[in-house]
Structure 1
Amino acid sequence: MRKIKYKKGRKVQPALLEYTGIHKYTQTEIQLFVYDDPDLAEYHEFDITEMQKHVDFNKTNWLNVHGLNDTEVVRAIGDYLNVDNFMLSDILNTTKRTKLDEYHDTLFFNVKSLLPEGDSTNIKVEQISFLLKKGILVSFQEKRSDFFTHIRERIRTHSGIVRTKQADYLLYLLLDAIMENFYITIESEEDKVEDLINLSKQSTNLSILEQIEKHRDNYNFLKRSIIPLRDSLYSIKSIKDDNVFNAIEADNFTFFERLHQKCLELLEQIEYDLTTLDSAANFFFSSQSHKMNEVMKTLTVVSVFFMPLTFIVGVYGMNFDNMPELHWQYGYFIILGCMFFLLLGMIYYFKKKKWY
């Protein structure tokens, strides 16, 4: 999990674009789709200088950028689309929270994509940004990934209604694909937590408590990632009410409302899972207390068994000449026998009372 770190003395000019992510050695690659219902043109290893030649605003254009190291590519896209510099800066600044900005005729969407990191308890984070204008959607990814592979196939094979819709519907599909990663991450966390709960029923090792706290941190991180996404999707409603921004068709606002409902479902599931973790922690502490109580009960029972025996030994250990039974020929064996039968009687009585 990455934390925001303030660098003392770092003074970045507003016009200076700087990538702040961890994928600093990823080569920038560009892919362009230009399509409508009957036609499709796809360009791999696209040269940003040819945007004027290949972008057709009479159709739907999807420009997908992998890798943000080459800030001049981001600047060139911003200049071509007449995008304000603060939006370009937010694309390159991966420490920003999820946000939505509407400025003039441009909609800027910045979102975090999360996925589990193999069998470990860590979560991989990638920032994905979108610029939406009438007729074109630009997506920026920190590295090449397969988040949108199925959407590309739907465009190529003319599956569904994506080729009949505008760029705003494509934005909905991409956001929906990102939200699927949240479901995958939560499901992975739930599987690990379930195994952890089963382990806590068999062991009282302190490492279990450390794992519980780690998963609690992961759920809180998921929550912090989804809440601003929920708020951003809700803000699209204000765009609809303003009736000014025309890059989103009136009929497509319903799709974004569905994404908002998905965010609410995810947050409800996270709250439930956090409650489950609290139950696991309480069960762990209860097991620890129960184990300690069992140990204390065993020690108490053993000490009670030996209390009368210790008393008898203490009495006969006193150095008096005129003690009864002191000179009996079989006194020693009689006292041992009495102590033995007294011990058996106490064991029988405790067993009958179910005190151990």
Structure 2
Amino acid sequence: MANKKILPIPQVLDVLNPFKVKKQRMMNYNPAVPTAMRTPVAESRITVFNYSPKSLEEKTLTSVAETYPYMVSENITWINVDGIKKEEVHAIASCFMIHPLLEEDIISVGQRAKMDEIGEQLFCLLPMMYYNAESSAIEQEQVSIVLGKNYVISFQDDPTRDLFDPIREKLRIASSRIRNGSSDYLCYSLIDIIVDNYFVVLDKLGERIELMEDLVQHYPNTKTMARINFLRREVLLFKRSIVPVRELVNGFMKSESDVLEDRDTKYFKDVFDHIVQCTELAETYREMVLNLQEMYHTQLNLKLNEIMKVLAVVTTLMAPLTLLAGIYGMNFDNMPEIHTKNGYFITLGAMGFMLLFMIWLFRKRGWF
């Protein structure tokens, strides 16, 4: 959060306007409903990296059928599908003998992050998180990864966004660790870059929380409270999405599958440490947002107390003057002071003296 740019308060009000955000629920999957399927995308993109320490083949495929030869390739193959189409997923699943239950998980939406081991394949599903600067909201897409002996198949929801470019750049370098590693190291790299991006989203949430602290101090009104509630929901949804990832990574660490090499276990342990740290930080931010709500109510009470204090002082100052005005406003003929020549000015002077004396007394006692 260092070197962050602090926006002026009026600009912050526009940036954090939750009423401009139209956002789908992030956790709307009901496993009891078999029709909880995604809407097919108009166009998908399939890319392949087939590599070994001495060779690299990088292609963008035009059809699913072009992935079939890689089933028997001796090199490591990474097939990445951007944009989910049911017929394409079914074709790939049939070719690589992916279990129908895993195929259904890939097509379904809004699922909880998990890891499964079926036969000689390991499967994991986890959210890839993004921060939308325009709406100040957190967005996510579901990423499914199938790990086999010499291949990794990844499925992404959104063909327009991708975090895997750094991995592609490393694959193009012959001396890189990932280029000389096995398929499980590639799977680790994909999970690791997704988890690392969680910290980027958390940094944005931290900036918003700090900006909200300024708003609460300067603008403790109903709009500010609405923004706090919006921020609280974002933090809760973020935490709810990433907490199961810890179990997912732990599943890789405990798995005894032949697909995983013992030397790569330490890398999954490193990811486990990162996701634990990320979860703890998300919990800290949740508590900070709750403190923001308490701060808002405190500021509101202080503001109300200041208003009541001013009204009480004004009422106290005017009470003696009202008493004098009421006494001499009575409609009686037999009043000694009513026929005094300068009685009007004397009464006004007495009232002014009483007012000044009370102001001096209140200030001396520190009442205002």
Q: TM-score, normalised by structure 1?
A: 0.90
Matched-pair contact (CA < 8 Å) for 2:138–2:238: no
Q: Is residue 177 of structure 2 the alignment partner of residue 161 of structure 1?
A: yes
3-state SS, counterpart of residue 25 of structure 1:
coil
Residue matched to 1:43: 59
Residue matched to 1:255: 267
3-state SS, counterpart of residue 214 of structure 2:
helix
Which amino acid in structure 1 is aligned with residue 303 of structure 2?
A: K
1:265 positional shift: 0.6
Matched-pair contact (CA < 8 Å) for 1:34–1:56: no
Identity of aligned residues (%): 30
Residue matched to 2:367: 355
Distance in 2, Cα, partners of 1:339 & 1:159: 93
Residue matched to 1:124: 139
Q: 1:6 to 1:166 in 2, by over 3 A?
A: closer
Deviations 1:231-251 (A, max 9, x none): 111122331xxx3x1111011
1:331 positional shift: 2.0
Q: 1:39 to 1:55 in 2, by over 3 A?
A: farther
Matched-pair contact (CA < 8 Å) for 2:71–2:96: no
Q: Is residue 79 of structure 2 the alignment partner of residue 63 of structure 1?
A: yes
Q: Is residue 306 of structure 2 the alignment partner of residue 312 of structure 1?
A: no
3-state SS, counterpart of residue 339 of structure 2:
coil
Distance in 1, Cα, partners of 2:195 & 2:175: 21
Distance in 1, Cα, partners of 2:34 & 2:276: 39
1:57 positional shift: 4.0
Distance in 2, Cα, partners of 1:34 & 1:135: 10
1:115 positional shift: 0.2
Residue 138 (structure 1) aligned to one of 153, 159, 172:
153
Which amino acid in structure 1 is aligned with residue 238 of structure 2?
A: L
1:1-356 counterparts in 2 under 5 A? 1-2=24-25, 3-4=27-28, 20-22=37-39, 24-45=40-61, 47-69=63-85, 71-144=86-159, 145-239=161-255, 243=256, 245-356=257-368
Q: 1:323 to 1:159 in 2, by over 3 A?
A: farther
Which amino acid in structure 1 is aligned with residue 28 of structure 2?
A: I
3-state SS, counterpart of residue 246 of structure 1:
coil
Q: 1:49 to 1:333 in 2, by over 3 A?
A: closer
Once structures 1 and 2 are overlaid, which stretch shifts more, 25-34 or 334-343? 25-34
Q: 1:318 to 1:60 in 2, by over 3 A?
A: same
Q: 1:180 to 1:205 in 2, by over 3 A?
A: same
1:321 positional shift: 3.9
Segments of 5+ residues of structure 1 without an aligned counterpart are: 13-18
1:220 positional shift: 0.7
Distance in 2, Cα, partners of 1:326 & 1:90: 96
Distance in 1, Cα, partners of 2:79 & 2:30: 33
Residue matched to 1:16: none
1:54 positional shift: 4.0
Distance in 2, Cα, partners of 1:124 & 1:29: 21
Distance in 2, Cα, partners of 1:5 & 1:265: 27
Q: TM-score, normalised by structure 2?
A: 0.88
Distance in 2, Cα, partners of 1:51 & 1:215: 43
Once structures 1 and 2 are overlaid, which stretch shifts more, 195-204 or 41-50? 41-50
Once structures 1 and 2 are overlaid, which stretch shifts more, 90-99 or 155-164? 155-164
Q: How many residues align?
A: 343
1:230 positional shift: 0.7
Segments of 5+ residues of structure 2 without an aligned counterpart are: 1-23
RMSD (CA atoms): 2.0
1:119 positional shift: 2.7
Once structures 1 and 2 are overlaid, which stretch shifts more, 229-238 or 105-114? 229-238
